[in-house]
Structure 1
Amino acid sequence: MPTLTLNTIEAAVRSSWGPDTTFASADYMARGNGQPSRGQCGTTALVLQGLLGGDLMVADVEHDGRVAGVHYWNVTAGGIELDLTRDQFSPGESLTNVRRVTTRRNSGGSGEQPFLRLQERVTAALRSQSSSSS
């Protein structure tokens, strides 16, 4: 398999998002701005961590002065932050209480199925890109 680039990985992830790969509350989704990345941060960050390693970053999403959810993204072992879903936020939403999550993902939990669907689609997309470039 050829070396993967960040552009290749990003294209595979973005083409793999769907309503069944989100993990966010109905209220959060309803407040959305129409961006395909809305609600995809948790599953996307876990898929990227599986591909690239590193740690997860998490922050509270505040809306109207209250915490309305959390946002996840990645930081590589070299300290580079990667956030493919930063464009999901609506006006009035802000990130606070940023922290690094150094523990690794456990299987199970209510977000497992959306994550597994996204992981499967991204893996297939990367294989397809790999075979078409050979």
Structure 2
Amino acid sequence: MTDLERLRPVLRTSWGADTCDPHDVPDWHPGNPARGQCGVTALVIQDLLGGELVLGEVFVGSVKVGHHYWNRLPDGDDVDLTADQFHPWETVVGARVQHRPPGPPGRCRQQYELLRGRVLSGLDRARREDAGAA
């Protein structure tokens, strides 16, 4: 088991255009690395920390332009490590808990597996560095 503070920087350095939701790739860039990472990031966080997936809707004005995922941890705290991806004119509304079907995701599976592998490697590297420093 890992903790959120160890996980946060590893996730941020693991994001890339290749882990981005295909819908958001045109808007992804290194200056906004969280763009399009919400779904796969929420799944990886749930894998490692447990809890529930939460889904909201993204609006520009009164027009729905997408969905946004984040996590509700077992202690009840909501955690959204990709909230900073949104522009000031985008608003996330609603918060419905989503049941996660068993097995790998049907959508963005390749991005999820790539992100999960990077995160697990990064956490392992951080643990070895911590052990070496002790």
Give TM class, smaller chain: 0.7 to 0.9
Structure 1 residues 108 and 43, CA, compared in 2 at 3 Å: closer, same or farther?
closer
- Contact 1:29–1:39 under 8 Å retained in 2: no
Q: Which residue of 1 aligns with 2:67?
A: 70
| Secondary structure of the structure 2 residue equivalent to 1:48 | helix
1:39-74 superposed Cα distances (whole Å, 9 cap, x missing partner): 111010000000001100110101132111100000
Deviations 1:82-107 (A, max 9, x none): 11001111121111232111334542
- Could you tell me how far apart the structure 2 residues matched to 1:96 and 1:102 are? 19
Asked if the contact 1:55–1:74 (Cα under 8 Å) also holds between the matched residues in 2, the reply is: yes
Report the TM-score when normalising by structure 1: 0.87
Q: Name the residue aligned to 1:115.
A: 112
Structure 1 unaligned regions, length at least 5: none
TM-score, reference length from structure 2:
0.87
Q: How does 1:34-113 map to 2 (within 5 A)?
A: 34-104=31-101, 106-113=103-110
Structure 2 unaligned blocks of 5 or more: none
Q: Output one character per residue of 1:18-54: Cα deviation in whole Å (capped at 9) or x when no partner.
A: 001011514x84398x421111110100000000011
CA distance in 2, matches of 1:103, 1:122: 20
User: 1:69 & 1:24 partners in 2: Cα distance?
Assistant: 13
Q: Identify the residue that residue 17 of structure 1 maps to in structure 2.
A: 15
Contact 2:2–2:49, Cα closer than 8 Å, also in 1: no
Identical positions, percent: 35
The number of residues matched between the two structures is 131
| Superposition deviation, residue 77 in structure 1 | 1.6
Between the aligned partners of 2:128 and 2:4, the Cα distance in structure 1 is 17
| Counterpart check, 1:124 vs 2:90 | no
In the alignment, is the contact (CA less than 8 A) between 1:29 and 1:38 conserved in 2? no
* Cα distance, 1:126 vs structure 2: 0.2
